[in-house]
Structure 1
Amino acid sequence: MHRRSLLHAAPAALLLLPGLAAGAPRRTASPAPRRIALHHAATGARFAGSWHDGRSPDPGAMAELSDVLADTRSGEVMPFDPLAIEVLWEVARRSGLGGELAILSGYRTPQTNRLVHGAGDSQHLRAGALDVLLPAERLAGFGEQALKLGRGGVGIYGRRNFVHLDSGPVRAWGDLPEGVAVAAARPAPADPLARMAEAWAQTRSR
């Protein structure tokens, strides 16, 4: 082949090479899996591992988490709201709280809810709330990050060393730190499953 023919062939050949053609899409890194470790303080049940692949919750992991967060008195299990786990994971990440999280209460049956004097419309009744037991020195920072996140309900119980998190409407109560306001509600997540779960959560009251 003559030199002139080679020069004409080169641009066409370059177009066939991935990533060299103008406007060729760039590969993006896969989202990192989300991991969490927690145990139920009342039953000792534990979960540790990936619960979300970075795009959507893992159904098998959510089933395990639902078992761990079952009603403490009856053992009854209800599928846990992945948005509540997402709130817990994000607040723990933002507050730098590594290791295993201690959960005082997850799902509650109506009978258990009455026995512990829970609100009649508690998010615990729909498996959408978690009470997180914290060391006294970590309580304020955890609660502050939960308020700043602007997702769901946040109840801070300083005397009992726990913070309530849920995936219901944005609101706050309890021993709120001075100078920290509740963040405005964030837009619904882009993930379709998360959007459906959040829409479902909004139909329930606290």
Structure 2
Amino acid sequence: MTEHTSTGFTRRGLLRAFAATTVVAAPTFSKAAGFLRGAGDIRRIKMYSGRTGEKVDMIYWVEGEYIREAVDQVTYFMRDWRNGQTKNVDTRTIDIMAAVHNMLETDEPYMMLSGYRSPETNAMLRSRSSGVAKNSLHMQAQAADLRLQSRSITQMASAAQSCQAGGVGTYRGSNFVHMDCGGVRAWNG
């Protein structure tokens, strides 16, 4: 029988998250493969939303296992803020964002401009801008538009492209980088 706390977390999940947050040494990279060398044996994501004022700073993966409760919180954080709709965020996208963040060697959280977008929101944005794809991976919860004050979009895009794990779009006029877990490609918006 699974024991739940008042927050809805399982006891096991809380213990794993607590154990992960007490690790003092830097994560090792020996077990990580490919682009995740930048993510380590412990993967953490740090973001805030200027739209909702919410922040997320959590370890979501430890030694080969995703912490379901943490991934669920990231999914909620990355919801369509215009209508509150959510869709389970593809963990590959979270992994890319975490790896890029580690490669950039910054403690500053990402500013998330856009995560999941409902089809209605995507259609509305598409009607206002030619830079919004009709079949955007945002609608599949496989993309995020991110900004860091301490790093240029060129630095962010270079790190993301070095992952060779998905799409990377640079939007200089709006000062953000799009990262997704779709096919490997790059573009300037």
TM-score normalised according to structure 1 size: 0.67
Q: Does 1:54 align with 2:63?
A: yes
Give % identity: 29
* SS of match in other structure, 1:111: helix
Q: Does 1:159 align with 2:173?
A: yes
Instruction: Give the alignment's Cα RMSD to 1 decimal.
Output: 1.9
Q: Does 1:83 align with 2:92?
A: yes
Structure 1 unmatched ranges of 5 or more: 1-27, 176-206
Show the counterpart of 1:142.
Answer: 156
**Conserved 8 A contact 1:87-1:151:** yes
Distance 1:137 1:127 in 2: 25
Classify 1:137/1:46 alpha carbon distance in 2 versus 1 (closer, same or farther; 3 Å): closer
Show the counterpart of 2:147.
Answer: 133
- Please give the residue correspondences for 1:1-206 in structure 2 after superposition, counting only pairs within 5 Å: 32-117=41-126, 118-135=132-149, 137-174=151-188
Distance 1:112 1:96 in 2: 33
Distance 1:137 1:124 in 2: 23
Distance 1:77 1:165 in 2: 18
Structure 2 unmatched ranges of 5 or more: 1-29, 32-39, 127-131
In the TM superposition, residue 151 of structure 1 has moved relative to its aligned partner by 0.9
In the TM superposition, residue 136 of structure 1 has moved relative to its aligned partner by 7.5
TM-score normalised according to structure 2 size: 0.72
Supply the AA of the counterpart residue of 1:129.
Answer: A
Count of aligned pairs between the two proteins: 147
**Conserved 8 A contact 2:157-2:177:** yes
How far does the alpha carbon of each residue in 1:151-180 deviate from its partner, in whole angstroms, 9 at most, with x for none?
1000001121100000011111006xxxxx
**Conserved 8 A contact 1:136-1:161:** no
Show the counterpart of 2:12.
Answer: none
How far does the alpha carbon of each residue in 1:133-156 deviate from its partner, in whole angstroms, 9 at most, with x for none?
233752211111111211100000
Distance 1:134 1:99 in 2: 7
**Conserved 8 A contact 1:135-1:161:** no
Higher gyration radius (CA): 1
Distance 2:167 2:72 in 1: 23
**Conserved 8 A contact 2:109-2:148:** no
How far does the alpha carbon of each residue in 1:17-76 deviate from its partner, in whole angstroms, 9 at most, with x for none?
xxxxxxxxxxx99x7321221112211222111111130221100100011000011011
Classify 1:61/1:136 alpha carbon distance in 2 versus 1 (closer, same or farther; 3 Å): closer
**Conserved 8 A contact 2:147-2:176:** yes
